[in-house]
Structures are given as structure tokens and as C-alpha cells.
Amino acid sequence: MITFEEIKATLPNKWLDYYQINRSWIKPLMDSRSWWRKTTDDGKRPCADIILGAITALEPKLSIWMPPFCQLNSDGDKLIDVLGLHFDPDKELTKREEERAKLPQLNSSEIDEIEIIRQLNNLAKENSKL
């Protein structure tokens, strides 16, 4: 069985991916309803309901843990903190992009993945002949 810590470790990237794809509607919604929450990194994040809804859909195994967490404390902001998601997603996306720019092997525009697979297959074939 997967542990909570193993699940928790995957949540920030899943949330960032979701936010990046959906920020075109999340930002206006948060702005229009003043649902932004201040973060400890001097930024802002969407309200807990948006994050919890998204992350439980993205990580179905989290559903095992959410009922007891909600019974212990139904404060969504505290749940976000426990899940390690109390950060400004725009700032984190910027950091992630900067990190990827430093590592060209992670920059998909510079790498043809099919060519890499072909090269690996050729190496495997050559090694099998030895």
C-alpha cells in the first residue's frame, strides 16, 4: 500500500501541471470572487476548494486519506498546508521553468525523443551481439 508521504511527494507537481493548464480560468475566477489566499512565500494561491478538488481528481489514492483528515480538521487551508500545497503556483512554475532551462536534457525542444529511442535500441542490438 502506498504511504501518505509517497502520495504527498507527487502532489506539488501534479497541482502545478493542472494549474498551468487551467490558469486561464482559475485566475479570473479567483480575482472575481477575491478567493486568493496569501502564501508564506509572499505570494498568493487559489482557495483551498479549487486545489482540493483538482488534486483529489488527479491523485485518486488521496481519497483514502481525505475522509479522516476532514474529520480531524475540515479547515481547507490547513489541509492544503498538510498536503504541502501552500505555495504560490505562479512563482513555483517560474522556478520550475528556470530549472528546466538550466538542464537542456529536460528541454523537449532540443531533444527528439524518437531519435533517442532509436539510438537506445541500436545500442541494445549492438550489445546483444557482443
56: its cell numbers? 483529489
Q: What pLDDT, on the 0 to 100 scale, is given for residue 73?
A: 87
What string of pLDDT tens digits covers the 130 residues of the chain?
788 999 999 999 999 999 999 999 999 999 999 999 999 999 999 999 999 999 999 999 998 889 888 888 889 999 999 999 999 999 999 999 898 888 766 555 545 666 667 667 766 666 666 5
Q: Nearest 5 degrees, angle CA 66-CA 85-CA 45?
A: 120
Closest CA to 111 of 120, 122, 93: 120
15 in Cβ contact with 89 (< 8 Å):
yes
Query: What are the sequence ranges of the domains in the chain?
Result: 4-129
